[in-house]
């Protein structure tokens, strides 16, 4: 049997304006990326920091261009403002489609993902590129992809009174499975801001899990 040495391409997507060493989610994310790199030294790992790299926002020009693109126009045929946003936007879509594995690291903010991560989601959940509508219903177009979601939250949502309130990792999971990502792993650090809590221990457990997970990606 011929063994194919196929290197996966990884996108490490972070959404946190904090410095890495001050952030639970970014610290765990970095440990996962480092562990993966030490096991796969030649892997192509691209980092997208949505707070430090401009993520194109859906705006008036993008919305004007969208039906034209759907009708078959290419960006070069569009007015300059529409061409500019459209090219930047779909470059993100394409970059996502071409990767094999996604690692997301982010905090829970007001029960959801940070707003610039939502802006990034707008660039990856795109009709006719990452999903399509068929007579049988919507169909995800991504195949053979894996995602890891690393989320830190001040409170606890997997049990207790706030169970219904977590729309961060759950939202991202919905989006990713909708567009076809089959394997989605989550590393949740919960109750990280509770006084008298064991945040350091939880973070260390999350790091252990991340390092183990790296072996399976
Ligand atoms: C703007 C903002 C909103 C937040 N909203 C929530 C929230 O809705 N629920 C929660 O449990 N924690 C909330 N937190 C707390 C963070 O989720 C918590 O501190 C988390 O551990 C931060 O992760 P990090 O260390 O990776 O930044 C919020 C923090 C900020 C700054």
Listed by start position, the domains of the chain span: 9-214
Contact 24, 152 (CB under 8 A): yes
The string of pLDDT tens digits covering residues 111-159 is: 999 999 999 999 999 999 999 999 999 999 999 999 999 999 999 999 9
Environment class of residue 4 by beta-carbon count within 10 Å: exposed (0-12), middle (13-18) or buried (19+)? exposed
| CATH entry, 9-214, from 3.20.20.100, 3.40.50.360, 3.90.105.10, 3.40.50.300 | 3.40.50.360
Ligand 1 contacts CB of residue 202 (under 6 A): no
The ligand 1 atom at the shortest distance from the C-alpha of residue 23 is 25
Rounded to whole angstroms, how far apart are CA atoms 134 and 127?
A: 11
The string of pLDDT tens digits covering residues 3-14 is: 555 689 999 999
Which residues, 6+ apart, have CB-to-CB distance to 53 below 8 Å?
Answer: none
Rounded to whole angstroms, how far apart are CA atoms 4 and 28?
A: 31
The alpha carbon of 7 and the centre of ligand 1 are apart by a number of angstroms equal to 35
Rounded to whole angstroms, how far apart are CA atoms 165 and 81?
A: 39
The alpha carbon of 148 and the centre of ligand 1 are apart by a number of angstroms equal to 19
The string of pLDDT tens digits covering residues 176-194 is: 999 999 999 999 999 999 9
The two structure tokens encoding residue 195: 């006084």
Rounded to whole angstroms, how far apart are CA atoms 174 and 160?
A: 22
């Amino acid at each position: 049997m011929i063994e194919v040495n196929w290197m996966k391409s990884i996108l490490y997507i972070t959404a946190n304006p904090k410095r890495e060493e001050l952030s639970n989610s970014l610290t765990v994310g970095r440990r996962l990326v480092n562990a993966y790199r030490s096991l796969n030294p030649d892997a192509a790992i691209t980092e997208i920091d949505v707070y430090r790299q401009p993520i194109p926002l859906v705006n008036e020009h993008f919305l004007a261009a969208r039906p034209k693109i759907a009708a078959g126009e290419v960006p070069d045929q569009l007015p300059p403002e529409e061409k500019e946003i459209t090219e930047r936007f779909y470059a993100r879509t394409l970059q996502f489609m071409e990767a094999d594995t996604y690692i997301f690291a982010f905090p829970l903010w007001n029960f959801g993902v940070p707003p610039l991560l939502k802006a990034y989601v707008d660039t990856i959940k795109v009709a006719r590129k990452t999903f399509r509508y068929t007579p049988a219903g919507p169909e995800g177009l991504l195949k053979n992809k894996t995602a890891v979601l690393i989320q830190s939250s001040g409170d606890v949502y997997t049990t207790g009174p706030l169970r219904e309130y977590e729309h961060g990792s759950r939202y991202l999971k919905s989006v990713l499975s909708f567009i076809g990502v089959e394997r989605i792993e989550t590393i949740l650090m919960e109750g990280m801001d509770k006084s008298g809590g064991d945040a350091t221990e939880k973070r260390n457990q999350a790091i252990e899990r991340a390092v183990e997970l790296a072996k399976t990606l």
